[in-house]
Amino acid sequence: MTDTAVPGQFTLVLHSHLPWLSRHGRWPVGEEWLYQSWASSYLPVAQVLRNLAAEGRSHLLSLGITPVLAAQLDDPHCLAGMHHWLGNWRLRADEAAMAGNRALGHYEHRLATAALADFEQRWRHGGSPVWRELIDAEAIELLGGPLAHPFQPLLDSRLRSFELTEGLADARQRWGHTPSGIWAPECGFTPGMEATYAAAGVTHFMVDGPALRGDTTLGRPVRDSPVLAFGRDLQVSYRVWSPKSGYPGQPQYRDFHHYDHETGLKPARVTGKQVAGPDKAPYDPDLAATAVRRDVEDFVRTVRERLIGESARIGRPALVVAAFDTELFGHWWHEGPQWLEQVLRALPEAGVTVGTLADARARGYVGEPVPLADSSWGSGKDWRVWAGEPVRDLVELNAEIVRLALDTLDKMRVQADGVRDPVADQLLREAILAVSSDWAFMVSKDSAAGYARDRAHQHAHAVREIAAAVTGGQLAKAGQLAAGWYAADGLFPALDARRLEGPV
């Protein structure tokens, strides 16, 4: 039975992103991270959206897919690696069963077999056909973003503009659709970026709730621009996932951190936050399924109450936006895709209007302009994760590398004859990889910090040696270096340095 309709609109936003991992290590950080997220999140989340679309449901959520992730989901090397990984997953499940853990082994075997069939049927030619089917069916609104996920507030304005316009063009190339909305990397913002967005054709973007002083009930034009900032409702979002609580930490759900080291499988449920890994209870899918139903009911109740309360507070129908990393659903929270599918069915049945950010804009969920200030969705909601003392060296490295790359490209421009130059293209490609926001994030959070620093310095080294060859007049050497780096970092083959704005 449908509950009484409530005022306003609920919007779910998912942000899908991983840094460029192809050919840059395998384990414990590298391609394994990509394949785990692909198998655990991207495959099942796409299946959930297909299931709902097949029921005639549309405008389900706004899905951000960063260009650098999209590039990996289309990359032939990654596609082959993923197929191999899925086969290996099934073998590991069989090993668990033969080693005596029959319940775990059989459960994992079923999951791996289904994932392998799904991948072979739908994904072997890349992720683009999968996402395009959902975009064309209007099941989702696609959100785009800058090419390699830079922390934009700290980025040179020329490179910031280039990454954004090229990121939107990359989306059109893959999916036949240019996003009008974006997920700003790390929700990072500094005044003036709204003008860059407007110039690129972006009509709306995401910020975290505190950037709007917690009033996220309406999209807000930024200063005197037509570009809307939509804010994440922390009260609702933290119900699912927060630094200290949320559904995935409940005792019945699968424990993310505890592994069976022989097979790499996860045999336990959370059990209790103070319970050591070996002492945790075995995972029980039926027990977890019951918990999913409980938490779906809780979330629907939370959204209804929030919409009713906020609509009454502002005197008009309110917007509630919950936003999460896509990788939460399946990778971090094993039961997340189940919960997602049930929630997207249950909300309309409970009288909640579900729509995308574009729907909110079209339906007039727009308030007064806001003088948006420096902000992010990181710790402290400021820039400390990407600009704080622990990553001061990376901030300085980024500034040096961007300056070197742009200066070298400007000199090459003087000598250019109008023909596309693969050396210039690779120089620019390595520079944007060097300034990915992921490296500083991983260092600040002490998550594979050594790998992150190595990656930043590796791409910086590529820029330095290509630039040195160019400025030293060693053009043949520069060509050889560029070709060598392209073999590892050949993402965005359409990237063309000639489209970079010249110096002001």
Enumerate the active-site residues.
186, 325
Sheet holding 228-231, edge to edge: 220-221, 228-231, 204-207, 181-182, 140-144, 61-65, 9-16, 319-325
Residues 280-314: b if buried by 16+ CB within 10 A, e if exposed: bbebebeebeebbeebbeebbebbbebbeebbeee
C-beta separation of 202 from 195 below 8 A:
no
C-beta separation of 40 from 333 below 8 A:
no
Cα–Cα dist 431/403, whole Å: 10
Cα–Cα dist 227/230, whole Å: 10
Cα–Cα dist 28/95, whole Å: 21
Compute the half-sphere exposure of residue 239: CA atoms within 13 Å on the CB side of its CA: 18
The structure tokens listed for 484 are 């060598």
> In DSSP terms, which residues pair with 322 in a beta bridge?
12
Cα–Cα dist 179/144, whole Å: 6
> In this structure, what is the dihedral angle of CA atoms 403, 405, 410, 412, given to the nearest 10 degrees?
150
By CB atoms closer than 10 A (0-12, 13-18, 19+), residue 125 is exposed
Cα–Cα dist 222/231, whole Å: 12
Sign of CA dihedral 491, 497, 501, 504: positive
> For residue 394, what are the CA distances in angstroms to 387, 416, 460?
8, 32, 10
> For residue 175, what are the CA distances in angstroms to 67, 128, 255?
11, 6, 36
Cα–Cα dist 302/240, whole Å: 11
Task: Give the number of other Cβ atoms within 10 Å of residue 172's Cβ.
Answer: 12
Output phi, psi for 474, to 5 deg: -90, 70
| Helix orientation angle between 67-74 and 157-175, rounded to the nearest 10 degrees | 40
Cα–Cα dist 213/215, whole Å: 6
C-beta separation of 435 from 398 below 8 A:
yes
